[in-house]
Structure 1
């Protein structure tokens, strides 16, 4: 009863449980001259209900390792600056719609020693929202500060650390692995209900997806979806055909997300597909495949490919085209070819939360699903992790390269 999500989800490693205290069976006696008055439901609701408070000017802080002292990693610095540049574009877009924002930016470098000096600044206690920090060891002091001063904290990058489980002020954008995988498993088994799954181990030496594969196999077993596996030199067009079922969707999943694995597997899969056109074949994979799309686009289309991701943008989407053009005008450069694109991440997170605060003020937490935005890259589906914790973003897309040369982003809501 204290963990209603377990009615629909399995208990998995890394999940936090609510364990209630035992109730005290003693009955307290009211003081001699004090009548025991039981408040009505209306009185209780009236006491607990917060009045809606609009925010005339939103005070927002960005705390990131810009490393203006030149001592940090150059690539990391470039990504942080790009995030902030996209964030500034979100502020500008909202300003044009009449939203007033006071923005404060702080360089917290790439260490934890500079954090406390910044947190001691008097203006920080008056913030409505803070974006950052970037590194796991910097999160704890900022999270404690946000909790003590009733300030929302949006953590854009890291998914490590347990602060979100006991701090109601936190919004974690990057989904922790256990939550991400459980979302993917659910969507996979809903999408491929009549699947015959074949795991392909290219023996590229990378075990990066071992946890994902292990969990998916457990989920497939529980849903009675058949699966098998092929390894290394045994992966040939003939063995691929032998593993397939003529009456089912044959979904091939590499056990590694690397480009090396793809380079080894794609030629075998292409030959098997061309030699057996009457079999239904799909290829399923990982977020990092976005960075290899340019190399394998034709193969992805031919193999009816899917991959999951929390971040995705198609460079042909009108919103993405417009944003890239505006970014170039503002900063006289293109965004880094990275996954995710940090400029778009800065825009999406800034726009979502600042717009939400401008619309709903202190009631934002009750209206998160009502914040109407069209994300360029990052989807948002926030769920509170428990009664005393913060929010985790559980949004996952499947991206589908169809045999008809269409590119579709599948949204499961």
Structure 2
């Protein structure tokens, strides 16, 4: 795309920030659900009072939100051009902005009020560091971004920048990377994928033994460490984790430990294509004699080289925090409204932004104090649910991860 066309898109998008309130999205995402409970009579009276109070407050209060996104507008200057990588980041920024704004437009149609300030991080850590000192950003009720880990690290390490909540909107990086008490990690980190896999394996395994098949690459070590720790904790060390580094599909070292009378659980944390093809073929051969259940890495969802018939024979599962049901009425409504508003197809970033805008926008509209107790407010979105836990030194982390199974030649969510 040419720089002139990008300039036109960005100008139109940013001008839309001043657009009038739109009607609610309708049958979209579920509003945040308060976990607290009261007696039935008291709860009804309390809800009536809260509804009245909320309406009064929403008519007066304006929630301030700062969006820090990697538009890289410097590349629109005369003589400058976007690189392929820079253009991709700018596309992510634009898609995210659109999705987030559509959510806030939906909420303003119900009486909420927002003041959104948009800042260009340029995807430069030094610039993110400078933005952390900006009084307009520091005084916001919620700060969204920077998007990428390097920028977020530069932003959160500024002294005194720990009073307002900072939302990491798209990165699943472990919150220990930043060591920020006021951080919100909305995309579940790898640790919680390993935990969900361990919960399933411990619950279903009857052999008291789970096999972990690894290619030997160091990139797999964090997942294995998280998985082993979770299994030990959940089973009280009654289930043994047997780890094997597989070379050229050779599974003979573990065959003697396998059973023909129950499921043999195989956890494979690898994302290496050649390794997976050979190893899965070997497992498929063994599955003729030994019942199998395979649990794979969350990135498997994106791999087109995996064969559905083979995955079904292996009774394969994966964890996911990005599953969108495009047949649901909520998603259909969102897609229709997004196309109507922007004359474009929504990407995964727009969908995530919409969910995040609906969740945090609703909490801000209800009461800014709700941001202090995210664990009391669950949410079911289009791409994932939000179920936050607070961890000292890490801030708020969304721990909700779905389990998907290969069934009828497609991935289906396990309820």
Same fold flag (TM > 0.5): yes
Answer whether contact 2:188 2:401 (CA < 8 A) is retained: no
1:109 alignment partner, SS class: coil
The aligned counterpart of 1:29 is none
The aligned counterpart of 2:99 is 86
CA distance in 2, matches of 1:260, 1:385: 38
Q: Alpha carbons of 1:143 and 1:254: their partners in 2 closer, same or farther (altered >3 Å)?
A: closer
The alpha-carbon deviation at position 162 of structure 1 amounts to: 4.4
The aligned counterpart of 2:264 is 250
Answer whether contact 1:311 1:379 (CA < 8 A) is retained: no
2:187 is aligned, of 147, 169, 174, to 174
Q: Alpha carbons of 1:209 and 1:226: their partners in 2 closer, same or farther (altered >3 Å)?
A: closer
Answer whether contact 2:128 2:152 (CA < 8 A) is retained: no
The aligned counterpart of 2:296 is 285
2:73 alignment partner, SS class: coil
1:106 is aligned, of 101, 104, 119, to 119
CA distance in 2, matches of 1:176, 1:200: 21
CA distance in 1, matches of 2:329, 2:204: 27
CA distance in 1, matches of 2:255, 2:176: 46
1:197 alignment partner, SS class: strand
Give the RMSD, CA atoms, in angstroms. 3.6
Answer whether contact 2:66 2:144 (CA < 8 A) is retained: yes
The aligned counterpart of 1:343 is 350
1:69 alignment partner, SS class: helix
1:223 is aligned, of 216, 238, 247, to 238
Equivalences for 1:8-407 in 2 at 5 Å? Answer: 56-70=61-75, 73-115=86-128, 118-119=131-132, 121-140=134-153, 142-143=155-156, 150-158=163-171, 159=173, 162=176, 165-167=179-181, 169-178=182-191, 181-182=194-195, 184-192=197-205, 194=207, 196-201=209-214, 203=215, 206-217=217-228, 220=231, 222-225=237-240, 227=242, 229=244, 231-233=246-248, 235=250, 244-273=258-287, 275-276=288-289, 279-292=290-303, 295-336=306-347, 341-366=348-373, 368-371=375-378, 373-386=379-392, 390-402=395-407, 407=411
2:111 alignment partner, SS class: coil
Q: Alpha carbons of 1:363 and 1:332: their partners in 2 closer, same or farther (altered >3 Å)?
A: closer
Answer whether contact 2:405 2:413 (CA < 8 A) is retained: yes
Answer whether contact 2:146 2:168 (CA < 8 A) is retained: yes
Q: Alpha carbons of 1:358 and 1:377: their partners in 2 closer, same or farther (altered >3 Å)?
A: same
The aligned counterpart of 2:4 is none
2:385 alignment partner, SS class: coil
Higher mean Cα deviation, 392-401 or 214-223?
214-223
2:92 alignment partner, SS class: helix
The alpha-carbon deviation at position 106 of structure 1 amounts to: 0.9
Mind listing any 5+ residue stretches in structure 2 that lack a counterpart? Answer: 1-53, 76-81
Answer whether contact 1:320 1:376 (CA < 8 A) is retained: yes
**TM-score normalised by L of structure 1:** 0.70
Q: Show CA shifts across 1:244-287 (max 9, x none).
A: 312322122234123333322333333443x34xx532111011
CA distance in 2, matches of 1:59, 1:146: 22
Answer whether contact 2:295 2:317 (CA < 8 A) is retained: yes
Answer whether contact 1:54 1:362 (CA < 8 A) is retained: no
The alpha-carbon deviation at position 96 of structure 1 amounts to: 2.7
- How many matched pairs? 347
**TM-score normalised by L of structure 2:** 0.70
